[in-house]
Amino acid sequence: MAFFSVQGLTKRFGGLVAVNNLSFSVDEGEILGLIGPNGSGKTTVFNLIMGVYHPSSGTIEFKGRILNGLPTWKICKLGIGRTFQITRPLRRMTVLENVMTGAFARTDSFEVAKEKAKEVLDFCGLGHKTHFLGKELTVADRKRLEIAKALATNPSLLLLDEVMAGLTPQEQMEGVELVKKIRNSGVTVIIVEHIMHVIMGLCDRILCINYGQAIACGSAEEVASHPQVIEAYLGKD
Protein backbone atom coordinates (compact mmCIF):
# COMPACT_ATOMS: atom_id res chain seq x y z
CA MET A 1 0.00 0.00 0.00
CA ALA A 2 1.42 3.33 -1.06
CA PHE A 3 1.67 6.28 1.31
CA PHE A 4 -0.39 8.36 -1.07
CA SER A 5 -1.89 7.27 -4.35
CA VAL A 6 -4.28 8.45 -7.00
CA GLN A 7 -6.09 5.91 -9.21
CA GLY A 8 -7.83 6.77 -12.48
CA LEU A 9 -8.56 10.30 -11.35
CA THR A 10 -10.84 12.18 -13.74
CA LYS A 11 -12.48 15.59 -13.44
CA ARG A 12 -14.87 16.99 -16.03
CA PHE A 13 -16.09 20.58 -16.04
CA GLY A 14 -19.01 20.27 -18.44
CA GLY A 15 -17.43 19.14 -21.70
CA LEU A 16 -13.88 19.96 -20.62
CA VAL A 17 -11.86 17.10 -19.20
CA ALA A 18 -9.40 18.89 -16.91
CA VAL A 19 -7.90 15.72 -15.42
CA ASN A 20 -8.11 12.54 -17.43
CA ASN A 21 -7.58 9.10 -15.94
CA LEU A 22 -4.52 10.14 -13.95
CA SER A 23 -2.75 7.62 -11.71
CA PHE A 24 0.34 8.10 -9.61
CA SER A 25 1.66 7.35 -6.17
CA VAL A 26 4.05 8.93 -3.73
CA ASP A 27 6.25 7.14 -1.19
CA GLU A 28 6.77 8.42 2.29
CA GLY A 29 9.65 10.92 2.50
CA GLU A 30 9.73 11.55 -1.23
CA ILE A 31 9.62 14.83 -3.13
CA LEU A 32 7.47 14.41 -6.23
CA GLY A 33 7.54 17.16 -8.85
CA LEU A 34 4.37 17.79 -10.83
CA ILE A 35 5.05 19.67 -14.04
CA GLY A 36 3.18 20.49 -17.21
CA PRO A 37 2.39 23.44 -19.46
CA ASN A 38 -0.09 26.12 -18.42
CA GLY A 39 -3.61 24.77 -18.15
CA SER A 40 -2.49 21.16 -18.06
CA GLY A 41 -4.42 20.49 -14.86
CA LYS A 42 -1.79 20.67 -12.10
CA THR A 43 -3.69 22.96 -9.75
CA THR A 44 -6.90 21.03 -10.47
CA VAL A 45 -5.15 17.89 -9.20
CA PHE A 46 -4.33 19.73 -5.95
CA ASN A 47 -7.89 20.97 -5.64
CA LEU A 48 -9.16 17.42 -6.14
CA ILE A 49 -6.82 16.05 -3.49
CA MET A 50 -7.91 18.75 -1.03
CA GLY A 51 -11.61 18.20 -1.66
CA VAL A 52 -12.20 21.66 -3.15
CA TYR A 53 -13.52 19.83 -6.22
CA HIS A 54 -14.94 16.34 -6.13
CA PRO A 55 -13.60 13.85 -8.70
CA SER A 56 -15.90 12.77 -11.54
CA SER A 57 -14.34 9.33 -11.14
CA GLY A 58 -11.27 7.69 -9.65
CA THR A 59 -10.01 7.41 -6.10
CA ILE A 60 -7.58 9.32 -3.92
CA GLU A 61 -6.03 7.28 -1.14
CA PHE A 62 -3.90 8.58 1.73
CA LYS A 63 -2.44 6.25 4.38
CA GLY A 64 -5.02 3.60 3.49
CA ARG A 65 -7.95 5.97 3.65
CA ILE A 66 -10.10 7.03 0.70
CA LEU A 67 -10.35 10.84 0.62
CA ASN A 68 -13.13 11.12 -1.98
CA GLY A 69 -16.02 13.23 -0.78
CA LEU A 70 -14.38 14.51 2.42
CA PRO A 71 -14.51 18.25 3.10
CA THR A 72 -11.28 20.25 2.85
CA TRP A 73 -10.87 20.85 6.58
CA LYS A 74 -11.13 17.15 7.33
CA ILE A 75 -8.47 16.32 4.75
CA CYS A 76 -6.26 18.90 6.44
CA LYS A 77 -6.85 17.18 9.79
CA LEU A 78 -5.89 13.83 8.26
CA GLY A 79 -2.49 15.34 7.56
CA ILE A 80 -2.39 17.00 4.13
CA GLY A 81 -1.39 20.65 3.91
CA ARG A 82 -1.43 22.86 0.84
CA THR A 83 -0.26 26.27 -0.25
CA PHE A 84 -2.03 28.43 -2.78
CA GLN A 85 -0.43 29.53 -6.04
CA ILE A 86 -1.81 33.01 -5.56
CA THR A 87 -0.86 33.52 -1.91
CA ARG A 88 -3.74 33.91 0.45
CA PRO A 89 -2.56 35.37 3.73
CA LEU A 90 -5.28 36.17 6.25
CA ARG A 91 -4.84 39.86 5.53
CA ARG A 92 -5.91 41.57 8.69
CA MET A 93 -4.17 39.11 10.99
CA THR A 94 -0.52 39.28 11.96
CA VAL A 95 1.94 36.71 10.67
CA LEU A 96 1.92 35.05 14.09
CA GLU A 97 -1.88 34.94 14.19
CA ASN A 98 -1.97 33.50 10.66
CA VAL A 99 0.27 30.63 11.68
CA MET A 100 -1.46 30.17 15.05
CA THR A 101 -4.72 29.67 13.18
CA GLY A 102 -3.02 26.79 11.40
CA ALA A 103 -1.62 25.41 14.64
CA PHE A 104 -5.11 25.36 16.18
CA ALA A 105 -5.83 22.40 13.89
CA ARG A 106 -3.94 20.23 16.41
CA THR A 107 -4.70 21.92 19.71
CA ASP A 108 -7.34 23.92 21.54
CA SER A 109 -4.80 25.63 23.78
CA PHE A 110 -3.82 29.21 23.01
CA GLU A 111 -0.36 28.77 24.55
CA VAL A 112 0.44 25.55 22.72
CA ALA A 113 -0.67 27.10 19.42
CA LYS A 114 1.51 30.14 20.04
CA GLU A 115 4.58 28.02 20.81
CA LYS A 116 4.00 25.85 17.75
CA ALA A 117 3.52 28.93 15.55
CA LYS A 118 6.75 30.54 16.76
CA GLU A 119 8.64 27.32 16.18
CA VAL A 120 7.29 27.00 12.62
CA LEU A 121 7.99 30.66 11.86
CA ASP A 122 11.62 30.27 12.96
CA PHE A 123 11.85 27.14 10.84
CA CYS A 124 10.57 29.04 7.79
CA GLY A 125 12.78 32.07 8.37
CA LEU A 126 9.95 34.43 9.32
CA GLY A 127 10.74 34.58 13.02
CA HIS A 128 11.64 38.27 12.82
CA LYS A 129 8.36 39.30 11.14
CA THR A 130 5.81 37.83 13.53
CA HIS A 131 4.00 41.13 14.09
CA PHE A 132 3.63 42.23 10.48
CA LEU A 133 0.11 42.09 9.08
CA GLY A 134 -0.56 39.45 6.42
CA LYS A 135 -1.17 42.14 3.81
CA GLU A 136 2.11 43.97 4.53
CA LEU A 137 4.49 41.21 3.43
CA THR A 138 6.69 41.03 0.33
CA VAL A 139 6.03 38.31 -2.25
CA ALA A 140 8.82 36.10 -0.92
CA ASP A 141 7.62 36.42 2.67
CA ARG A 142 4.04 35.72 1.62
CA LYS A 143 5.21 32.48 0.07
CA ARG A 144 7.03 31.62 3.30
CA LEU A 145 3.89 32.45 5.24
CA GLU A 146 1.84 30.14 3.01
CA ILE A 147 4.26 27.33 3.83
CA ALA A 148 4.34 28.20 7.53
CA LYS A 149 0.55 28.22 7.77
CA ALA A 150 0.38 24.80 6.14
CA LEU A 151 3.25 23.38 8.25
CA ALA A 152 1.61 24.57 11.45
CA THR A 153 -1.20 22.09 10.84
CA ASN A 154 1.41 19.31 11.18
CA PRO A 155 0.94 17.69 7.77
CA SER A 156 2.66 14.47 6.76
CA LEU A 157 2.04 15.34 3.09
CA LEU A 158 2.52 18.88 1.83
CA LEU A 159 1.25 20.16 -1.53
CA LEU A 160 3.25 23.17 -2.76
CA ASP A 161 1.69 25.08 -5.64
CA GLU A 162 4.31 27.19 -7.46
CA VAL A 163 5.96 28.49 -4.33
CA MET A 164 8.97 29.77 -6.28
CA ALA A 165 7.06 31.74 -8.93
CA GLY A 166 7.84 35.44 -8.85
CA LEU A 167 10.93 35.08 -6.66
CA THR A 168 14.45 36.33 -7.42
CA PRO A 169 17.16 33.67 -8.05
CA GLN A 170 18.54 34.28 -4.55
CA GLU A 171 15.09 33.81 -3.00
CA GLN A 172 14.56 30.71 -5.13
CA MET A 173 17.73 29.16 -3.71
CA GLU A 174 16.52 29.86 -0.19
CA GLY A 175 13.18 28.36 -1.17
CA VAL A 176 14.83 25.16 -2.39
CA GLU A 177 16.75 24.90 0.89
CA LEU A 178 13.50 25.35 2.83
CA VAL A 179 11.73 22.60 0.89
CA LYS A 180 14.69 20.27 1.49
CA LYS A 181 14.56 21.11 5.17
CA ILE A 182 10.85 20.32 5.24
CA ARG A 183 11.46 16.93 3.63
CA ASN A 184 14.27 16.18 6.07
CA SER A 185 11.91 16.91 8.94
CA GLY A 186 9.84 13.94 7.73
CA VAL A 187 7.23 15.58 5.52
CA THR A 188 6.46 14.12 2.10
CA VAL A 189 6.15 16.80 -0.59
CA ILE A 190 4.35 17.12 -3.91
CA ILE A 191 5.51 20.29 -5.65
CA VAL A 192 4.05 22.01 -8.70
CA GLU A 193 6.62 24.22 -10.32
CA HIS A 194 7.39 25.91 -13.60
CA ILE A 195 10.99 26.85 -12.91
CA MET A 196 12.94 23.90 -14.32
CA HIS A 197 16.25 24.23 -12.52
CA VAL A 198 14.37 24.35 -9.23
CA ILE A 199 12.42 21.21 -9.93
CA MET A 200 15.37 19.32 -11.44
CA GLY A 201 17.56 19.84 -8.40
CA LEU A 202 14.87 19.19 -5.85
CA CYS A 203 12.71 16.26 -6.86
CA ASP A 204 13.29 12.54 -6.45
CA ARG A 205 10.79 11.87 -9.20
CA ILE A 206 8.92 14.03 -11.66
CA LEU A 207 5.48 13.51 -13.14
CA CYS A 208 4.72 15.48 -16.28
CA ILE A 209 1.10 15.96 -17.31
CA ASN A 210 -0.55 17.58 -20.29
CA TYR A 211 -4.29 17.91 -21.00
CA GLY A 212 -4.82 16.24 -17.64
CA GLN A 213 -3.02 13.05 -18.66
CA ALA A 214 0.32 11.70 -17.46
CA ILE A 215 2.82 11.78 -20.30
CA ALA A 216 5.99 10.89 -18.44
CA CYS A 217 7.11 9.88 -15.00
CA GLY A 218 10.59 9.17 -13.67
CA SER A 219 13.85 10.81 -12.64
CA ALA A 220 14.63 14.37 -13.69
CA GLU A 221 16.86 13.25 -16.60
CA GLU A 222 14.36 10.73 -17.88
CA VAL A 223 11.52 13.21 -17.92
CA ALA A 224 13.56 16.06 -19.38
CA SER A 225 14.69 13.91 -22.30
CA HIS A 226 11.27 12.32 -22.91
CA PRO A 227 10.13 13.23 -26.45
CA GLN A 228 6.50 13.88 -25.43
CA VAL A 229 7.61 16.26 -22.66
CA ILE A 230 9.77 18.20 -25.08
CA GLU A 231 6.85 18.29 -27.49
CA ALA A 232 4.43 19.52 -24.83
CA TYR A 233 6.72 22.37 -23.83
CA LEU A 234 8.31 23.34 -27.15
CA GLY A 235 5.99 21.88 -29.78
CA LYS A 236 6.93 19.77 -32.82
CA ASP A 237 8.99 20.98 -35.76
Binding site for another protein (CB under 8 A): 50, 52, 71-74, 76-77, 81-82, 84, 88-93, 97, 100-102, 104-105, 108, 110, 113, 134, 149-150, 152-153
Task: Return the number of the residue (99 or 215) whose C-beta is nearest another protein.
Answer: 99
Minimum CB–partner distance for residue 101 and another protein (Å): 5
Minimum CB–partner distance for residue 231 and another protein (Å): 34
> What amino acid is encoded at 99 in this protein?
V
Minimum CB–partner distance for residue 20 and another protein (Å): 25
How many angstroms separate the CA atoms of 119 and 152, rounded? 9
Task: Return the number of the residue (71 or 166) whose C-beta is nearest another protein.
Answer: 71
Task: Return the number of the residue (144 or 149) whose C-beta is nearest another protein.
Answer: 149
b or e along 110-122 (b: 16 or more beta carbons within 10 Å of the residue's beta carbon)? eeebbebbbebbe
Task: Return the number of the residue (97 or 174) whose C-beta is nearest another protein.
Answer: 97
Task: Return the number of the residue (109 or 168) whose C-beta is nearest another protein.
Answer: 109
Minimum CB–partner distance for residue 89 and another protein (Å): 8
Task: Return the number of the residue (46 or 172) whose C-beta is nearest another protein.
Answer: 46
Minimum CB–partner distance for residue 220 and another protein (Å): 29
Minimum CB–partner distance for residue 113 and another protein (Å): 7
Q: Print the SS3 string covering the chain.
A: CCCEEEEEEEEEECCEEEEEEEEEEECCCCEEEEECCCCCCHHHHHHHHCCCCCCCEEEEEECCEECCCCCHHHHHHHCEEECCCCCCCCCCCEHHHHHHHHHCCCCCCHHHHHHHHHHHHHHCCCHHHCCCEHHHCCHHHHHHHHHHHHHHCCCCEEEEECCCCCCCHHHHHHHHHHHHHHHHCCCEEEEECCCHHHHHHHCCEEEEEECCEEEEEECHHHHHCCHHHHHHHHCCC
